[in-house]
C-alpha cells in the first residue's frame, strides 16, 4: 500500500507564545519504534518483489476475464439450440466414442442448462499431459459440436488453460512456479505493512484515510491514491495471498501438513467394490454405504441408471460430473455447483445393481477442509461465478495500479534522502527478540519469503558497506 513518505511539514502559521512552556510531545511508543522498520521492509519488498507481483496481477486479470471470453470464443462447442427431448446419456457417450475411437471415456458432464452441450471426457494420447479430450455432444440431436482439450475440475478449455499456465508458472513448468509462490509469499506482508503505514499516517482523518486527495498531480496526490485504494483492497489481497499459498510448491506442503495435523484433511469417497467403502476413516459414519453383494465381473447396469440411482440417493444439483467405473470400482457421481448455496455432495454407485457404495456430503467436511475448498474456488474464479470473476478482476486491477503508483512515488522521490538504514536498532530489545523469532518461524513456514528476506538483508548490508567505504574515501581524499 503506502511506500516511503516524507515527514509532515510543520505548521508555519504565527501563533502567540504559549504560557506555560508546553510539555514535549510523547513519542508513539511501540509504533514509533516499529515504523521505520516497517517502512524499510515495505520499500525493499515493494521495489524488488513488485515485478513478480505485477506479472501475477496482469496474468490474473487476464485469467479473471477468460471465463467470459471462453464462453464467447467456444460458443459453438458449448451451446446448442434447445430441443424437445434429450438423448440418453449412454447414447451420447456412444456417439462420442464413434467420433474418437482412440479415446477412452473417463467421465461425463451433462449440460447444466437447457442450451448446454454434454461434455464427454476422454483419456487420449494426443492431448497434453494432465488434460482430457472433451467431446461436445448436442444432447437433443446427437451432433458432435467439437473436440477440445479440457483441463482441471473446472473444465478449462485451451484459451483459459493457456492463461492459467501463464499465471501459475509462466509456462516454465515446476521452475516457473517459484515466481508465483514468491509473489504470494510477499503479497500479504506488503499489504499489511502498507496498511499499518497508512493508518499511522492518516490517524484521526477519516476522509483522508478512505478517499484520495484531489488537486494537481504530485507525489502527495499519488501517495493518497496509493493508500486509499490499498485500504479498500487490502482484505482481498491478503485472501488472495493466503489462498494462493495453499497449493503452492513449498509453503503449500507445510500448510497441508498443518491442516492434516489439525484434523482438517479433505475426506475422500471410496468407490471400491470389495466392501472397503465403509472403512474410509476420513468420513466413517457420514452415511457410508453398506458392503455390496458379490457381482459378476464387468456387470454394469448403464450410465443412465447409475445417475438415476445417485439422484435417488440425494444428488439433486443440475451440475454433476459422472466418473465412469474402472476395474473394481463403481460409478462416482459428484455435484459440482459452486454457486450459493454450495452443492458439492458425491456418491459412489455399484454398477451392477445401483446400490450406494459410499456417500460424502460437503456438510460433513471438517471446517478447515471447507474453508480450503471455498478459498481455492474463490481464487480460481469458480466460486459464485461472475461475481467472483469481477471481484478478482477488480483486485488484480487495483494491485496493478498500486504497484505503478508505488514506482511513481519512488521515481518522484529521487534524488531525495534515502530510506534510513539501521531501523531495527530503534526497536526495543523486548520487542525485537520476539519479532525476530516470529519472523524466523514464518520464514521457515513460507520458505521463499524467508530466503528472499535473507537476500534483502544481504543487499542492505552490502549497500551499507559500500556507502561506508565511499564515506571513508571521501574523508581521506
Rounded distance, CA 141 to CA 86, Å?
8
* CA distances (Å), origin 301, targets 1, 109, 309, 348, 355: 60, 19, 11, 14, 11
Cell 447444466: give the residue. Answer: 112
Domain range for 212 is 30-64+172-259+387-435
392 with 351, same domain? no
Pull the grid cell for residue 101: 475411437
Contacting residues for 444 by C-beta, under 8 A, at least 6 apart? 450
199 with 250, same domain? yes
138 with 183, same domain? no
315 with 343, same domain? yes
Kindly state whether residue 8 falls inside one of the protein's structural domains.
Answer: no
Q: What is the pLDDT of residues 361-378, one digit of tens each?
A: 999 999 999 999 999 999
209 with 348, same domain? no
Kindly state whether residue 7 falls inside one of the protein's structural domains.
Answer: no
Kindly state whether residue 25 falls inside one of the protein's structural domains.
Answer: no
pLDDT, one tens digit for every residue, the chain (477 residues)? 544 444 333 344 344 444 444 444 444 577 777 888 888 889 888 888 999 999 999 999 999 999 999 999 999 999 999 999 999 999 999 999 999 999 999 999 999 999 999 999 999 999 988 899 999 999 999 999 999 999 999 999 999 999 999 999 999 999 999 999 999 999 999 999 999 999 987 666 777 788 887 777 778 889 999 999 999 999 999 999 999 999 899 999 999 999 999 999 999 999 999 754 443 434 433 434 444 444 455 678 999 999 999 999 999 999 999 999 999 999 999 999 998 889 999 999 999 999 999 999 999 999 999 999 999 999 999 999 999 999 999 999 999 999 999 999 888 876 555 555 666 667 778 888 898 999 999 999 999 999 999 988 888 788 878 888 888 887 776
Kindly state whether residue 397 falls inside one of the protein's structural domains.
Answer: yes
218 with 359, same domain? no
240 with 95, same domain? no
Rounded distance, CA 258 to CA 247, Å?
13
Domain stop point among 332, 364, 396: 364
Query: Of the candidates 448, 436, 458, 5, which has an alpha carbon nearest to the alpha carbon of residue 186?
Result: 448
146 with 176, same domain? no
Coil vs helix vs strand at 334 = strand
Kindly state whether residue 191 falls inside one of the protein's structural domains.
Answer: yes
Rounded distance, CA 343 to CA 216, Å?
52
Coil vs helix vs strand at 476 = helix
97 with 239, same domain? no
- Torsions phi, psi for 177 (to 5 deg): -65, -20
60 with 87, same domain? no
Kindly state whether residue 461 falls inside one of the protein's structural domains.
Answer: no
Alpha carbons within 13 A on the beta-carbon side of 326: 8
Kindly state whether residue 44 falls inside one of the protein's structural domains.
Answer: yes
249 with 129, same domain? no
150 with 177, same domain? no
Q: How many domains is the chain built from?
A: 3
Amino acid at each position: 500500500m503506502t511506500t516511503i513518505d516524507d515527514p509532515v511539514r510543520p505548521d508555519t502559521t504565527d501563533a502567540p507564545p504559549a504560557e506555560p512552556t508546553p510539555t514535549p510531545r510523547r513519542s508513539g511508543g511501540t509504533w514509533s519504534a516499529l515504523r521505520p522498520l516497517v517502512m524499510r521492509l515495505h520499500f525493499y519488498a515493494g521495489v524488488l518483489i513488485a515485478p513478480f507481483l505485477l506479472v501475477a496481477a496482469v496474468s490474473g486479470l487476464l485469467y479473471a476475464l477468460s471465463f467470459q471470453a471462453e464462453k464467447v470464443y467456444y460458443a459453438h462447442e458449448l451451446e446448442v439450440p434447445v430441443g424437445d427431448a434429450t438423448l440418453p446419456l449412454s447414447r451420447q457417450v456412444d456417439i462420442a466414442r464413434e467420433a474418437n475411437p482412440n479415446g477412452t471415456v473417463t467421465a461425463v458432464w451433462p449440460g447444466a442448462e437447457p442450451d448446454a452441450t454434454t461434455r464427454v471426457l476422454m483419456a487420449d494420447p494426443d492431448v497434453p499431459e494432465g488434460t482430457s479430450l472433451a467431446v461436445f455432444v448436442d444432447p437433443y440431436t446427437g451432433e458432435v459440436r467439437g473436440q477440445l482439450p479440457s483441463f482441471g475440475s473446472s473444465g478449462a478449455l485451451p484459451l483459459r488453460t493457456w492463461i492459467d499456465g501463464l499465471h501459475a508458472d509462466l509456462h516454465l513448468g515446476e521452475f516457473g512456479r517459484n515466481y508465483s509462490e514468491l509473489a504470494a509469499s510477499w503479497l500479504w506482508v506488503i499489504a499489511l505493512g502498507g496498511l499499518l503505514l497508512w493508518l499511522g499516517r492518516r490517524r484521526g482523518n477519516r476522509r483522508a484515510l478512505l478517499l484520495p486527495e484531489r488537486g494537481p498531480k504530485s507525489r502527495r496526490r499519488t501517495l493518497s491514491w496509493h493508500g486509499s485504494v490499498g485500504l479498500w483492497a487490502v482484505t482481498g489481497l491478503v485472501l488472495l495471498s493466503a489462498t494462493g499459498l495453499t497449493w503452492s510448491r513449498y509453503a503449500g506442503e507445510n500448510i497441508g501438513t498443518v491442516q492434516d495435523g489439525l484434523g482438517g484433511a479433505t475426506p475422500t469417497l471410496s468407490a471400491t467394490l470389495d466392501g472397503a467403502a465403509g472403512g474410509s476413516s476420513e468420513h466413517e459414519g457420514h452415511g457410508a454405504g453398506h458392503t455390496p453383494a458379490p457381482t459378476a465381473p464387468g456387470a454394469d447396469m448403464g450410465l443412465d441408471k447409475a445417475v438415476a440411482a445417485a439422484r435417488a440417493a440425494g444428488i439433486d444439483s443440475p451440475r454433476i460430473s459422472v466418473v465412469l467405473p474402472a476395474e473394481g470400482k463403481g460409478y462416482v457421481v459428484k455435484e459440482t455447483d459452486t454457486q450459493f448455496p454450495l452443492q458439492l455432495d458425491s456418491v459412489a454407485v455399484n454398477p451392477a445393481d445401483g446400490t450406494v457404495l459410499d456417500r460424502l456430503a460437503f456438510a460433513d467436511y471438517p471446517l478447515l477442509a471447507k474453508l480450503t475448498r471455498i478459498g481455492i474456488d474463490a481464487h480460481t474464479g469458480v466460486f459464485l461465478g461472475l461475481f467472483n470473476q469481477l471481484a478478482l478482476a477488480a483486485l488484480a486491477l487495483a494491485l496493478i495500479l498500486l504497484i505503478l503508483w508505488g514506482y511513481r512515488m519512488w521515481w518522484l522521490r529521487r534524488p531525495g534522502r534515502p530510506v534510513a538504514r539501521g531501523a531495527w536498532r530503534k526497536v526495543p530489545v523486548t520487542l525485537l527478540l520476539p519479532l525476530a523469532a516470529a519472523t524466523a518461524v514464518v520464514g521457515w513456514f513460507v520458505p521463499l519469503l524467508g530466503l528472499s528476506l535473507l537476500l534483502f538483508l544481504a543487499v542492505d548490508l552490502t549497500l551499507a558497506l559500500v556507502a561506508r567505504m565511499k564515506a571513508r574515501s571521501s574523508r581521506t581524499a
